[in-house]
Structure 1
Amino acid sequence: MARIPAPVAAVRHAVRRNLAGLPADALVLVACSGGADSLALASATRFAFKRVGLVTVDHGLQEGSDRRARSVAAWARDAGFDPVGIETVSVKGLPGGPEAAARTARYSALEAAARRLDASAVLLGHTRDDQAETVLLALARGAGPRGLSGMPGQRGVFRRPLLDVARADTRKACAALGLAPWEDPHNTDPAYARSRVRGSVLPVLVDALGPAVVSNLARTASLVASDNEALDTLAVDALDSARTPEGLSVPVLAGLLPAIRGRVLHRWARDLGAPGGALAYRHVVAMDALVSEWRGQGPVFLPDGIVVARRQERLVRVVPAHIK
């Protein structure tokens, strides 16, 4: 019996471990661009699980993207994936830069496909290297713990089985299996921040600090994510304690540790309707100042026209016309 190449075994083991809790007859979809990471993931999932479908997304951002999508779909059908689908999306009018807009459109299409097909999970091919890049980008933005926690292993219908697998191993797995990955030119385009981190920043860190820096950065994300989960649980209880019919109790908020109070204010702002993507650190700091640095200052203006003010011993939402 031929020995399975170590990279192939590593990818298959990661997939088996990730899907262990799903019913044997559940449908799993693999999001596959045709790149090495998602191609290795798709092959391993097809080997390790009974019902596996595949979805490829055509963003329409590159010449020939429709042909690439049809090629990936044809490979999937020949390999026994069922169902196989192509989701064509448009990024026009979506917020953020090209990367953010494409990500929003892609995830929306994948979620819609999962609902339509009654899939239990959609697998994404992000690797340990992707996680390390995400942490570096978060550090560059001055992100807090939520940003430094990187990409979650699971959120909603999405799962990332390969966050503990090196990108080099997905390439080696493809080579061992005779798979020919597509090389996305965006991955080496210096116009994109992630491409610059991948091509320039991370290699310099590896040269200076050794190859373990990649796994160390990824492990940092996992550790911070665990801390975030604990702090968020405490914040939920604290928010319940601070609530009043009018808003939030300032004395209760003042008695909280700053890390918990910031999370409470962030959650409350979201409850009021502030969109998470637009709710920034400066908004939370301004609300916190109404509690911890009260000098009679005016209201705080949050995204989506939401206004918060301090009225005696309460933080309350106010109607702009009623601001004094």
Structure 2
Amino acid sequence: MPEIKSVAANDYGELSHLIRQAGLLRRRYGYYAVKITLNVLAFAGGWVAFVHLGDSWWQLFLAAFFAVMFAQLSFIGHDAGHKQIFRTRRANDVIGFWHGSMVGLSYASWMDQHTRHHTNPNHEDDDPDIQIPAIAFTEEQARKKRGVFRWMAKYQAFLFFPLLLLEGFSLHVSSVKALWRKNLRGRWVEIPLLALHFTAYLTAVFLVLSPLTAVVFILVHQCLWGVYMGCSFAPGHKGMPTIAAGQKLDFLRRQVLTSRNVRGGRWVDFTIGALNYQVEHHLFPIMPRPNLRHAQPIVRAFCARKDIEYSQCGWLRTYGYVLEHLHAVGAPLRAGRSVPTGAPA
């Protein structure tokens, strides 16, 4: 990893002024009203089609459809968590709790983890998104792996996409565990909401489908959703420089140097919920989703003027970078030698 040097933080104030001057922090109520309405109508329509189709293997196409819908609903919950939709926290929380309940996720738990990620992206000690037992994102993490996790770290580049098949189930389990163990805000609202979700989901699936078809439907739905979510969030930071403990960076460089954008037009924006503008999103997390594409040229030009490295590549290439990084991190383990403490990623 190239050395990252910290400089004065006043650059962010200058960039923020340019963004505000362009009106890109203004709320987009019309956009979100249409987006949420279409999502909910499509989601409800999917369940109507599910009941109408009955016990049929054709339901697996609907399982794929619901995987897409779960991701799209999750993206709205993500926007609500960042206060992109409304100005007040209460109004955004209503949207967040509602969408979390539709997909079986704890909005409060996600907020707790995601806030820490945004504060310290790719920080070896403080970013929970790179504290994953099954994967090592730095050689220091690889050195500490033991048992089956150490074996997985050796071949993690090959296991990365197969592991994403389990991400949907992992999101459900982590939500339930967080609500059980932590005193999260809105906990007593979310516990009944998630209980209602799982009860309604399982009842509908096993009531309409035969047991075997129901199990396969759940597997296809949840596994594809997990892959979709993983492929949407991973390109933003995985394989980018990590920040070691004690390393100091100003806010602007901490966000830009650890984030990666994905090139693409409106189709990519829609598919991954505008997470392809990861740099701009991290710099201005309250910026409404449709404004990110307009902020991108402003931020990129500003970074070029300040000689700040700005990372952007095609969608497929970003996965190449992710896999290459994971493969390199596991190389010392495959060679059978200890990974030196503090080795750069």
Q: Classify the TM-score, shorter chain.
A: under 0.3
**Greater share of helix residues, 1 or 2?**
2
Query: Based on CA coordinates, which of the two structures has the bigger radius of gyration?
Result: 1
Q: What is the TM-score when the length of structure 2 is the normalising length?
A: 0.24
**Which structure is richer in relative contact order (CA contacts within 8 A, separation 6 or more)?**
2
**Greater share of strand residues, 1 or 2?**
1
